Amino acid sequence: MEIEQFLNKLPDVYTRGDREQIEKAYRFAENAHHGQTRANGQPYFSHLVGVAFILLDMEATADIVTAALLQDVIIDCGVPVNTLKKDFGENITRFVEDLTRITSLPYLSRADQHENERKPLKDAVPGDASRIDDDLAETIRKMLLAIGDDVRVVVIMLADRLHNMRTLNALPSDRQRKIAQETLDIFAPIANRLGIWQFKWELEDLGFRYTNSEKYKEIAENLTTRRTKRLEEVDKIILDLGSLLEKSEVKAKISGRPKHIYSIYRKMQSKEKAFDGIRDLRAVRIIVDDVETCYKVLGIIHMHFSPIPGEFDDYIAAKKPNNYQSLHTAVIYSDGKPLEVQIRTWEMHRNAEYGIAAHWRYKENKQHFSGNYEQKVSSMRSLLTWSLEIEDNQDLVEGMRSDLFKDRVYVISPKGDVVDLPQGSTPIDFAYQVHTDIGHRCRGAKINGKLVTLDYTLKTGDQVEILTVNRGGPSRDWLNPNLGLVRSSRSRQKIRQWFKQQDRAENLEHGKILVEKELKRLGLPGVDLTQLLPTFNLKTIDDLYVGIGCADISIGKFVNRVGELNADSLKQEDQLIPEAPAKQKAGDTITIMGLTSMMHNFARCCNPMPGDAIVGYITRGRGVTIHRMDCPNALRMKDAERLIKVDWGFTEQTYPVPIQITAYDRQGLMADISGVISSEPVRLIDLSLTTRQHIVKVNLVLEVAGISELSRVLARLENLANVMEAARVKPG
């Protein structure tokens, strides 16, 4: 594109100085990038011009457009920082430096199709999720640090990624998928957090196009096939609603609201329906002059059409964390089909489309930003603070996905304040969101005036009151993922910090109790804990106890590793002695002397299951019988030469495991036990119970897939009211 064509597209409101600055940056960057090309053969500079046009469509200021044109001159062209300062000033140079730091991040893909693609931070092994999480977590931290105080840098970064996604087809398919997945994981959620809907939906659709091309094509074709009919219906609805509002003397603009492909796919996933089952593809948006009229229009809509229960959301009174505001409702229209309706003011509409960028557009005073802008800046700073607080890389990555980028719930504090939390949060999460000390001292909760358990899942509109004690700290049970008491990564980090501040001796004692209790419950009393030390980079068993006691090592990770070690225990000579652990996932089939096809059966005396240390006994005529290594019958066998090495294979299968629950008898106990079992992927195959002096013993046989699944079920059962113990029944 010639510079004259580019300058002609600049808005009339730009001053002469703005135009001269942009023209200077255009010529400077074009010259600096001379000879550099993209994967599609076009000059690399064309990418920068494309980014500038995206920002111009958002009505960006001249400084932002200038910085976008110059964003890669330091990293790709070696232009000295002092040269930029001399030619373009401190402000624009700071923008370019911040963008350079983000572009330089080791793990982040250069989606700009530059020929010099950087290598990952580490020599990542395909499928090594923990290492990928480490790299991604470090990238997220550095990105948030690079953003600094000026959120406008983020908007340039998002515009850059959007242009790259629009031209991604020139890259090899493996890089397309990598960049697209990164866009869905990081960039689209950041756009959503900043409320920039225009960026969010297009980044999501383009990311989805390359990560799941078949599904994308299927939905796109379905939309195209029905497009004409749907547009005709929406046009008629707009005319009818316009006439209806005109009779009530309401001035409004009504338009059809497009349904985007990725949002349709997400709805198909959440509702577990095919495209034909998604009925609410018709939607309109009504824009009015003030908030009072929004509610007036809502009343008119609900008076004339039947509202669909559970489909009304008031995001004006309780706006989303990205400051999005609107009324959402769904009604059964006069033709008997659902219709989605959004109602908002013009200011809300600008905020929804442009998010944070709506507050520094060239139409506004460049020296003054609105209160909403400051709130969004504060929001990005809170992301930075939060990312530095989380020490565990997997927690950071998971927290970014769940706490920050997923749907939210809005609950009300006793003072009437609206508190937003990640979807699925519990009263404990609410307590820590209000104040760390309230979280530590939380002992109960009331929802809408009624007492609830601490694993209650909060819903939008709930009024939450936390019951506290004067002194005390959190319970270690809160960190047990099997119990579902804490869902937010922030809450978990606060709890871990509290335990880390406790005395080492106290953490050691608590850790030892937790380990012994868990091993006893699982029927694994003889585990050699020294074999776990290399896994957690520890030197002594005491260090392991301390790590578990202060929650650095979750009980879930401990149980998983114990299961792997027990699955690898082997026979040496004529004794059953565990060897050093080998990495193998416990599964369904049995490998006998390296073969999986040999006839075998499981001993009923000990009922072995994946994760147990096992040994085979050669029978006469019935193949090999599989025993647990600690089975008394196997230990008493005199024909040691008949004992052979066997291993668990890889195909998943369930195994019968006897367990016993000891509890104080109460009404509803069996219903609660049944509720836990029915909510888990296990099958109850036998049940009996005995009662003596108000103590009930419930004997169950459950089909479970492995040690980890058994641990989760036992933990949940033991957490029921009146239950004293839930444990696996030992053989013999």
Strand pairing category for 327-332 and 306-307: antiparallel
β-partners of residue 576 are: none
Report how far residue 706's alpha carbon sits from residue 672's, in angstroms, rounded to the nearest whole number.
Answer: 23
Could you tell me the pTM of the whole model?
0.56
Report how far residue 711's alpha carbon sits from residue 519's, in angstroms, rounded to the nearest whole number.
Answer: 9
Degrees (nearest 5) of the Cα angle 183, 184, 189?
100
Q: Say yes or no: domain 220-359 is CATH 3.30.460.10.
A: yes
CB 668 within 8 A of CB 641: no
Ordered by start, the domain boundaries in the chain are 3-210, 220-359, 407-500, 504-648, 655-728
> For residue 63, is it left (φ>0), alpha (ψ between -120 and 50) or beta?
alpha
- Give the number of residues written for the chain: 732
Q: Say yes or no: domain 655-728 is CATH 3.40.50.2300.
A: no
| Average pLDDT of the residues of the chain | 79
pLDDT tens per residue across span 377-413: 455 545 545 554 555 555 555 555 555 555 667 788 8
Interhelix angle 371-389/489-500, rounded to 10 degrees, is 50
Averaged pLDDT for residues 602-628? 83
CB 92 within 8 A of CB 22: no
333-372 exposure pattern, b = at least 16 Cβ within 10 A, e = fewer: beeeebbbbbbbbebbbbbbebbbbbbbbbeeeeeeeeeb
Residue 416's pLDDT is 80
Architecture of domain 3-210: Orthogonal Bundle (1.10)
Q: Identify the residue with better confidence: 194 or 480.
A: 480
**DSSP labels for 418-487?**
EEEEETT--HHHHHHHH-HHHHHTEEEEEETTEEE-TTPPP-TT-BEEEEE-SS----GGGG-TTTT---
pLDDT tens per residue across span 458-517: 988 789 999 999 888 898 888 887 788 998 877 888 888 888 777 788 888 888 888 888
Residue 629's pLDDT is 86
Most confident of 267-276, 436-445, 640-649: 436-445
Q: What CATH number labels 407-500?
A: 3.10.20.30
Return the SS3 of 717.
Answer: helix
Task: Assess whether the region 3-210 and the region 220-359 belong to the same CATH fold.
Answer: no
Lowest mean pLDDT among 241-255, 317-331, 646-660: 646-660
**Among 245, 244, 242, 222, which Cα is nearest to 234's?**
242
Q: Identify the residue with better confidence: 653 or 655.
A: 655
- Residues 6+ away with beta carbon under 8 Å from 451: 444, 445
CB 157 within 8 A of CB 142: no
Residue 117's pLDDT is 47
Indicate whether 558 pLDDT > 90.
Answer: no
Averaged pLDDT for residues 332-337? 86
